[in-house]
Amino acid sequence: MSSKNQMIFLEAPLYGGLEEHIVSRGHTCRYCYGEGGFGGDPRLGEVWTPCPVCKGSGKMDAEVTIKWKASEKVKEKKERERK
């Protein structure tokens, strides 16, 4: 089975910008296999039930937020050196 893989490479910001937001759209919902729901054959008396995960769209979007902060070990070391 094939799969689509994406990687995020982290690199500290050069000038400010301590928060980054990355969006990846259009991934197939793995809960309903992209169908958007379950059942739905009216001849059999089935009612279409939208997927509770993708809300019936069949697709999922990923939102990743990266927050940069100073390393605690470096801050502690510098504070000790000042004393």
The whole-model pTM stands at 0.65
Q: Work out the burial of residue 54: count CB atoms within 10 Å of its CB; fewer than 13 is exposed, 13-18 middle, 19 or more buried.
A: buried
Q: Residues of the chain with pLDDT > 90: what percent?
A: 45
The residue behind tokens 């939208």 is 50
The rounded distance, in Å, linking the Cα atoms of 57 and 48 is: 13
User: Average per-residue pLDDT in the chain?
Assistant: 86
Which one of 2-6, 18-22, 47-51, 52-56 scores highest in mean pLDDT?
A: 52-56
**Which pLDDT value is given to residue 1?**
54
Q: Work out the burial of residue 36: count CB atoms within 10 Å of its CB; fewer than 13 is exposed, 13-18 middle, 19 or more buried.
A: middle
The rounded distance, in Å, linking the Cα atoms of 72 and 17 is: 19
**Which pLDDT value is given to residue 12?**
86
